[in-house]
């Protein structure tokens, strides 16, 4: 009798257990379905993106410039980002194209700058301190931390920093194209030159901006009005790609070489992305400093070495070109050089060597 009771209790327990197990299986299976769906969606995106790009080159343009990526800041208020000696202004490089620009004066002028308007900033450009025009890379706008970081480094060295958002970037109007970016950059350069009097004017390009920089440096040189010097940070060599050669903006596909085919010549040329630093540096005779981190994941370090060698043999001079390499252990990657404590010294020495 006792035994039977025990048995029935045990079987009841087992039944309960069975129910519990079922519930667990059900929750786990619905969770698993979602994970599977997410994984399938990711794989589909990963595989189809190159095909979509092949079919719709305008998507490629979007990917390369990524101009629509915005940071949620009010670009008319640079002081929100600690740039308390900066004025926001707008230039019209071409009918219908309005460009947002920040002018930052040397740090020692920050007190004097309080409450001053654009006119004061414009006049300051001619105060004899070097002026740097900064051409940024392919994502976001002039408020990105690494761009503000470079402006701060330059300003603390006693230089002016002029930072532009090309057409289609930030609060600038228009759509980015290679010709458009070049037009904007040249326009800004002439605008600065008209105010800088005897101050030397330098160009600093980063990433995609390196091609814009070397491009206008060549144009200005050919017109007999060369830039005083150029700094290229995180520069890349790929302009006209050879088939199978990876494009720097598709680094996340590098591990899967077959996909590179879809990024080869056609879609690139359809958008006139002839952003060739190599071709430009073959012609450029302007003093040049190349800054590059050894752990750069977008533009691998060998690209900087190739550019350095190209410029050195083109200029037939060791003195007018230098390559400053930053150790990979710092983790600067593609954007972080501005954090290097030795950077201000490299820049100061370069500026002094050019001014001599
Ligand atoms: C303004 O900026 C300068 C230079 O970066 C800094 O030294 C100063 O402390 C700032 N002043 C204020 C009130 O934030």
**What was the pLDDT predicted at 297?**
84
φ, ψ of residue 258 to 5 degrees: the values are: -60, -25
| Mutation probe of ligand 1 site: the residue of 77, 79, 82 with most atoms within 8 A of C-beta | 82
Going by pLDDT thresholds of 50, 70 and 90, the confidence category of residue 86 is very high
pLDDT at residue 98 greater than cutoff 80? yes
| Mutation probe of ligand 1 site: the residue of 81, 105, 110, 161 with most atoms within 8 A of C-beta | 110
User: Active site residue: 146, 206, 334, 340, which one?
Assistant: 334
Atom 4, ligand 1: which residue's CA is nearest?
Answer: 107
Task: Determine which helix (DSSP H) or strand (DSSP E) holds 24, and give its type and residue range.
Answer: helix 2-55
- The verdict on the CB of residue 107 being under 6 Å from ligand 1 is yes
pLDDT at residue 134 greater than cutoff 70? yes
Atom 11, ligand 1: which residue's CA is nearest?
Answer: 84
- The verdict on the CB of residue 110 being under 6 Å from ligand 1 is yes
Report which of 110, 168, 176, 179 is spatially closest to residue 141, judged by C-alpha positions.
Answer: 168
User: Active site residue: 207, 214, 267, 276, which one?
Assistant: 207
Are the C-beta atoms of residues 136 and 147 closer than 8 Å to each other?
Answer: yes
Going by the DSSP 8-state scheme, the letter that residue 47 receives in this structure is: H
The distance between the two most distant Cα atoms of the chain, rounded to a whole number of Å, is 112
**What was the pLDDT predicted at 240?**
43
Report which of 77, 89, 97 is spatially closest to residue 122, judged by C-alpha positions.
Answer: 89
Q: Which CB contacts under 8 angstroms, 24+ apart, belong to 261-266?
A: 262/50, 262/51, 262/53, 262/54, 263/50, 263/53, 263/60, 265/240, 265/241, 266/54, 266/57
Which of 63-77, 107-121, 129-143, 187-201 has the least mean pLDDT?
A: 63-77
pTM: 0.78
Which neighbouring-strand residues pair with 90? 100
Q: Is 334 considered catalytic here?
A: yes
Average pLDDT, the chain: 83
266-286 pLDDT, tens digit each: 444 434 445 589 999 999 999
Could you give the CA distance from residue 210 to residue 232 in angstroms, rounded to a whole number?
5
Whose tokens are 């500026």? That residue is 351
Q: How close is the Cα of 80 to the center of ligand 1, in Å?
A: 12
Q: Quick one: what percent of the chain has pLDDT higher than 70?
A: 75
Three-class secondary structure of residue 324 per DSSP: strand
**What was the pLDDT predicted at 273?**
46
pLDDT at residue 5 greater than cutoff 50? no
Could you give the CA distance from residue 206 to residue 174 in angstroms, rounded to a whole number?
21
221-258 pLDDT, tens digit each: 999 999 999 999 999 886 444 444 445 454 444 444 44
**Encoded tokens for 80:** 């929100």
Q: How close is the Cα of 318 to the center of ligand 1, in Å?
A: 39
Q: Is 296 considered catalytic here?
A: yes
Could you give the CA distance from residue 158 to residue 170 in angstroms, rounded to a whole number?
27
Q: Is 6 considered catalytic here?
A: no
pLDDT at residue 8 greater than cutoff 60? no
- The verdict on the CB of residue 71 being under 6 Å from ligand 1 is no
> Which carries the bigger pLDDT value, residue 70 or residue 184?
184
Going by the DSSP 8-state scheme, the letter that residue 130 receives in this structure is: -
**What was the pLDDT predicted at 71?**
57
Could you give the CA distance from residue 196 to residue 255 in angstroms, rounded to a whole number?
47
- The ligand 1 atom at the shortest distance from the C-alpha of residue 107 is 4
294-343 pLDDT, tens digit each: 999 888 899 999 999 999 999 998 889 999 999 999 999 999 999 999 99
Could you give the CA distance from residue 61 to residue 267 in angstroms, rounded to a whole number?
9
31-69 pLDDT, tens digit each: 888 899 999 998 888 887 777 766 666 666 666 666 655
**What was the pLDDT predicted at 237?**
85
Please compute the mean of the pLDDT values over residues 82-107 and round it to a whole number: 97
Are the C-beta atoms of residues 64 and 249 closer than 8 Å to each other?
Answer: yes
Could you give the CA distance from residue 151 to residue 85 in angstroms, rounded to a whole number?
11
**What was the pLDDT predicted at 21?**
55
């Amino acid at each position: 009798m006792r035994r039977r009771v025990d048995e029935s209790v045990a079987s009841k327990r087992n039944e309960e257990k069975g129910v519990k197990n079922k519930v667990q299986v059900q929750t786990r299976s619905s969770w698993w379905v979602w994970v599977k769906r997410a994984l399938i969606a990711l794989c589909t995106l990963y595989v189809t993106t190159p095909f979509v790009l092949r079919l719709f080159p305008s998507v490629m343009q979007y990917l390369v410039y990524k101009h629509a990526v915005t940071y949620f800041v009010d670009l008319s208020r640079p002081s929100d980002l600690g740039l308390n000696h900066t004025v926001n202004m707008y230039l019209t490089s071409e009918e219908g194209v309005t460009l947002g620009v920040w002018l930052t004066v040397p740090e020692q002028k920050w007190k004097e700058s309080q409450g001053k308007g654009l006119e004061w900033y414009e006049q300051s450009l001619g105060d004899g301190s070097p002026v740097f025009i900064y051409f940024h890379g392919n994502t976001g706008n002039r408020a990105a931390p690494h761009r503000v970081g470079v402006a701060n480094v330059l300003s603390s060295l006693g230089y002016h920093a002029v930072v532009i958002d090309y057409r289609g970037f930030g609060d600038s109007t228009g759509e980015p194209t290679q010709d458009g970016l070049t037009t904007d950059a040249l326009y800004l350069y002439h605008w600065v030159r008209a105010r800088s009097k005897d101050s030397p004017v330098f160009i600093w390009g980063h990433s995609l901006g390196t091609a814009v920089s070397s491009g206008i440096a060549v144009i200005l040189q050919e017109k007999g009005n060369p830039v005083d010097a150029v700094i290229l940070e995180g520069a890349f060599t790929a302009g006209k790609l050879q088939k199978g050669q990876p494009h720097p903006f598709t680094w996340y596909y590098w591990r899967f070489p077959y996909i590179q085919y879809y990024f080869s010549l056609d879609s690139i040329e359809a958008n006139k992305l002839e952003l060739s630093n190599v071709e430009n540096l073959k012609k450029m005779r302007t003093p040049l400093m190349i800054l590059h981190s050894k752990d750069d994941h977008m533009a691998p370090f060998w690209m900087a070495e190739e550019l350095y060698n190209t410029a050195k043999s083109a200029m037939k001079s060791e003195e007018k070109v230098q390559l400053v390499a930053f150790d990979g252990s710092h983790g600067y990657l593609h954007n972080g050089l501005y954090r290097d404590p030795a950077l201000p010294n490299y820049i100061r020495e370069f500026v002094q060597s050019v001014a001599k």
